[in-house]
Amino acid sequence: MDAETSPSAGLEATGGQLTCPVGARRDLAVCCRVEHGEVWISVAGVLDYATRDLLAVVVHDALMAKCPDSLVVDLGRVRLLDASVIGMLLRAQQLADGCHAALRVANPHGIVRDALQATGSLSVLAGSPTEAGPA
């Protein structure tokens, strides 16, 4: 896989800020950064049953270690998202609520947005379809 097609390509320098890669698997890269007081977890690649646990650990650790007011999971570079990940994100949102933090997803598009919308979880996880960004 070359840098052009690598899931992690471009995640290290986002918005002029250096981010810290926190995990990678064959088809998934996850980075975490703090931006304007929010914790952003940027994900690239395929989110499915085989890769969801990596994201779950990163979300859990960010909530427990950083105690943010807001945690955003950026799905802008995710190519596929399955139902097991949607369930994990909904459980993570409940965990965040218990920590007095707001968890939301940002930038879902294509099949990822369609999956969230089809399950009725887009408005729950993004706040509203408008906040999720353009379709």
Position 51: which residue type?
Answer: T
Q: How far apart are CA 79 and CA 95, in angstroms?
A: 25
pLDDT, position 48: 94
- In our burial notation (b when 16+ CB lie closer than 10 A, e otherwise), range 106-125 reads bbbbeebbebbbeeebbebb
Judge whether residue 100 has pLDDT over 60. yes
pTM for this one?
A: 0.79
Q: Tens digit of pLDDT for each residue in 106-122?
A: 999 999 999 999 999 99
Q: Tens digit of pLDDT for each residue in 5-17?
A: 333 334 343 443 4
Q: What is the DSSP string of 54-119?
A: HHHHHHHHHHHHH--SEEEEEEEEEEEE-HHHHHHHHHHHHHHHHTT-EEEEE---HHHHHHHHHT
Domains of the chain: 13-132 (3.30.750.24)
- For the chain, what percent of residues have pLDDT higher than 70? 75
